[in-house]
């Protein structure tokens, strides 16, 4: 097995965990929780689920960035790479920045509001997280398209 093949596997696995997890949280877990649970039950559940998910995303970010950089440096020069790789890298950096923002601002505020049972404030933070995750989900899907179709499109 080549180093490139191993890095590509890690890259795809971590990307799948991250983007697939966002899809499940956004289109399955959150709507089910909204339909079935009142805020005092729903908000702590969502915060607990998001904490577990964000821990996995943090590991996925390290894996995606590390494996991506390993593949780039394996090519010896970033400037010689296909434009789709540049676009994929840029999209990934934006996604990482959005994830860090989510984790450091609205997620911490969500946890703080839940701790003092301020359900309206917690709901506002969860909604902010939902919107940012939706943006990152779209960016993730676009990144997958660039990764798989980029050479044919550019």
CA pair distance 84, 72, nearest whole angstrom: 12
pLDDT for position 16? 97
CA pair distance 129, 97, nearest whole angstrom: 14
The predicted-structure confidence for 34-55, as pLDDT tens digits, reads as follows 999 999 999 999 999 999 999 9
The residues spanned by each domain of the chain are: 3-153
pLDDT of residue 76 exceeding 90, the answer is no
The pTM of this model reads 0.93
């Amino acid at each position: 097995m080549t180093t490139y093949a191993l890095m590509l596997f890690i890259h795809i696995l971590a990307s799948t965990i991250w983007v697939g997890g966002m899809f499940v949280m956004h289109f399955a877990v959150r709507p089910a929780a909204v339909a079935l649970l009142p805020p005092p039950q729903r908000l702590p559940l969502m915060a607990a689920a998001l904490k577990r998910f964000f821990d996995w995303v943090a590991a996925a970010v390290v894996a995606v960035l590390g494996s991506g950089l390993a593949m780039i440096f394996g090519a010896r020069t970033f400037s010689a790479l296909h434009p789709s790789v540049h676009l994929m890298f840029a999209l990934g950096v934006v996604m990482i920045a959005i994830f860090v923002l989510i984790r450091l601002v609205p997620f911490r505020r969500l946890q703080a509001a839940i701790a003092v049972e301020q359900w309206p404030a917690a709901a506002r933070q969860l909604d902010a997280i939902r919107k940012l995750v939706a943006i990152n989900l779209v960016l993730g899907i676009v990144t997958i398209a660039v990764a798989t179709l980029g050479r044919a499109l550019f």
